[in-house]
């Protein structure tokens, strides 16, 4: 069974309209959690370094060596935010194992040195 899961937003905040909304900006957990004010993105043409830590219900997003958010799947904050989004009817959203997906919406994007480590 395929499940929807949380998304680490990869985006040029200055060049895309989603960059104006903290919940859809670079480093955000798309629509669920916004990055903190320590987020620093590199300019177009330079690679950002992203790291996702997911252990049990705990998820962290790191951008360029800085932890920019943490969230607990199923927490009160998670449930409240999910209820405000297009994921409100998605049973099991963010729960359990799933696939790693890379997407774009018609914009150019490059990835390199992707590694998955089981913890």
65-105 tens-digit pLDDT: 999 999 999 999 999 999 999 999 998 899 888 888 888 77
The verdict on residue 6 lying in a domain is: yes
Tokens of 18: 């989603």
How many angstroms separate the CA atoms of 85 and 100, rounded? 21
Residue 17 has pLDDT above 60, yes or no: yes
CA dihedral angle for residue 102, residue 59, residue 50, residue 65, rounded to 10 degrees: 180
The verdict on residue 25 lying in a domain is: yes
The verdict on residue 111 lying in a domain is: no
The verdict on residue 63 lying in a domain is: yes
Express as a percent the part of the chain with pLDDT over 90: 73
How many angstroms separate the CA atoms of 41 and 74, rounded? 29
Domain range enclosing 65 = 1-36+47-87
Give the number of domains in the chain: 1
The verdict on residue 41 lying in a domain is: no
The verdict on residue 99 lying in a domain is: no
Q: How many CB atoms lie within 10 A of CB 110?
A: 6
């Amino acid at each position: 069974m395929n499940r929807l899961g949380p998304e680490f937003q990869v985006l040029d905040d200055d060049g895309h309209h989603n960059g104006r909304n903290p919940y859809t900006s670079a480093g955000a957990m798309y629509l669920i959690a916004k990055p903190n004010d320590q987020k620093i993105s590199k300019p177009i043409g330079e690679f950002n370094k992203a790291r996702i830590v997911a252990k049990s219900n705990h998820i962290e997003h790191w951008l360029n060596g800085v932890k920019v958010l943490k969230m607990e799947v199923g927490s009160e904050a998670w449930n409240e935010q999910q209820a405000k989004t297009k994921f409100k009817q998605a049973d099991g959203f963010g729960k359990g194992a799933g696939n790693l997906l890379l997407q774009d919406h018609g914009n150019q994007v490059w990835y390199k040195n992707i590694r998955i480590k089981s913890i």
